A = this chain, B = another copy of it.
Amino acid sequence: MDRYLSGPQLARLLAIDPEARPYYKALAEVVRALILDGRVPVRTRVPAERHLAEALGVSRTTVTAAYDRLREQGYLESRQGSGSWTALPEAGALGTDNPWIVSNDDGLLPMHAAAPLAASTLPEAIAYATERYPRYGLGMGYDSVGIAPLRQAIAARYTRRGVATRPEQILVTTGAQQAIHLVASTLLSAGDPMLLESPTYPHALDVARMRNARIVPVGIPDDGWHLDLLTCAMRQSAARLAYVIPDFQNPTGHLMDDATRAGLVSAARQCDTTLIADESWSELAIDEVPRVAPLAAFDIDGRVISIGSASKLWWGGLRIGWIRTTAAMVRRLAVLRAAMDIASPLFEQLVVTRLFEDIEETRAERRRSLSASRDALVAALAEQMPDWSFTVPRGGGSLWVRLPSPSATPLADAAACHGVRLAPGTWFGVEGTLEGRLRLPFTQPPQVIAEAVSRIAEARVRGAYGARPAEPLTPAL
């Protein structure tokens, strides 16, 4: 504990409306905001209750109530005799009561999932939805295509990104995962060939398996897609469906250039293949990258179905994704989705509608935090795992690491014993390939990443011991 704030110092930072009632709640809220936007660093000692009460000219009970509230929410920690200090109720701290970790029954640092924490615009958007949902709440609340303002916001964003889109072309889904599942369920019969990148997003593989597709993997070389490999595989397999992640590919982080995009869509046209373009990461460039058009911009006959998501840019807990396709296909998909889960939650649809308004602000915020986390990961690996190699991606949320030997699974087992959940490369490939690879996400805060890498280093030396913790119920994202 090297930082300390006196009563007058903290009081100076607190701009509280003196009329606010109850005052203790407002006080807690303002302190929380200071912590969340970094103006009061985490692990800063806060003044004793009576000192802050004096400085603010309020009763000590009021400050006690505010501190209690902050403690309850995880923003303050206290120890008898040592005072209180600021904290974050983050997934990163082992042994906290964070329910996300509890729910996984394992309490491990979640380095298996590339899933950023909630964006800072979320509370405002939730307040917005709270105000507006009654208009919807008095209706029945079901809407299998999505509420009009959200479809408009999504369509407008596509238009802005370079592919003119009408709201009728948008279907709101329960996350990108449902979008993939829905499109595959509609277009793929058992035994149909489905092309997937290797490596690819594990839950897309799950969908292919669930649909009993014939999986056709196409390798992505270390320098990114090779158009001829894609084209040949598509032609030779007569793939009915091809699932690609052109924007900051998960897990490799590659960004497909315009020429490859054009060639891919043209090849799909020749082979009568429908392309699913998963753009979950498309808004998450970190470095300056060449401006590329969405895959759908190269489409002339409705064979590119684009999938997007609120999960990576804003928060996965929202479970809002979408499909962009032809209006006719939207209606076709909506009928099937009604049999799957009727509709997406209405409140979240309002939340995401509002989030779109400040999308550039959130992109900038993500750029900063992903950049810091990526740098922390790269630095920690350089120091502690000099024999691991990787290309630093210019966006997205993960490093695709090459290990010096095919040892990802035993390493993941060992890491789990040392308190870190890893995603071995095999999760991203078919038939047990990619054992020499590891996906390391940089979506957690730098301090969590640093801690995780230290533990992985320890795991490499000491290996697995005792019983391996159970598999998490939510695997790689």
- A residues with a Cβ closer than 8 A to B are 17, 19-21, 32, 73-74, 88-91, 98-104, 110, 113, 115-118, 122-123, 126-127, 130-131, 133-149, 173-175, 177-178, 181, 185, 190, 203, 206-207, 209-210, 315-320, 331, 334-336, 338-348, 351, 443, 473-475, 477
Nearest B residue (CB) for A178 = B341
Expressed in whole angstroms, the Cα–Cα distance for A101 and B104 within the complex equals 40
Asked if B181 and A339 sit within 8 Å, CB to CB, the answer is yes
A475: B residues at CB distance < 8 A = 338
Contact of A140 among B74, B110, B342 (CB under 8 A): B110
Highest count of chain B CB atoms <10 Å: which of A101, A103, A123 = A103
Can you spell out 29 A-B residue pairs with CB atoms less than 8 angstroms apart?
A19-B21, A73-B134, A74-B134, A90-B138, A90-B139, A99-B149, A100-B140, A100-B141, A100-B143, A103-B143, A103-B145, A113-B140, A115-B141, A118-B134, A127-B130, A130-B130, A133-B317, A140-B317, A141-B315, A142-B474, A175-B342, A177-B339, A178-B340, A181-B340, A181-B341, A185-B210, A317-B346, A318-B346, A343-B474
Q: Do A73 and B210 touch (CB < 8 A)?
A: no
Contact check, B135 vs A89: say whether CB atoms are below 8 A apart.
Answer: yes
Residue of B20, B136, B143, B319 touching A343 (CB-CB under 8 A):
B319
Q: Which residues of B contact A149 (CB under 8 A)?
A: 99
Copies per complex?
2
In the complex, which of the residues A17, A130, A334, A340 has the most CB atoms of chain B within 10 Å of its own CB atom? A340
Which B residues are CB-close (under 8 A) to A178? 340-341
Assembly CA distance A117 to B142 (angstroms): 11
Verify B342–A319 contact, CB threshold 8 A.
yes
A318 to B347 alpha-carbon distance, docked (Å) = 7
B348 contacts A140, C-beta separation under 8 Å: no
Across the interface, name the chain B residue whose C-beta is closest to A345: B319
The residue of chain B having its C-beta at the shortest distance from the C-beta of A445 within the complex is: B138
Which residue of B has the minimal Cβ distance to A20? B21
Across the interface, which residues of B come within 8 angstroms of A141, CB to CB? 100, 115, 118, 315-318
CB distance from A37 to the nearest CB of B (A): 14
For A117, the chain B residues whose CB sits under 8 A away are 137-140
Q: From residue A311, how far is it (CB to closest CB) to chain B in Å?
A: 8
The smallest C-beta distance from A453 to any residue of chain B, in angstroms, reads 19
* Chain B residues near A347 (CB-CB < 8 A): 126, 317-318, 345, 347-348, 351
* A116 nearest CB neighbor, chain B only: B140
- Please give me the 6 A-B residue pairs with the lowest Cβ-Cβ distance, nearest first: A141-B317, A100-B139, A118-B137, A206-B339, A317-B346, A115-B140
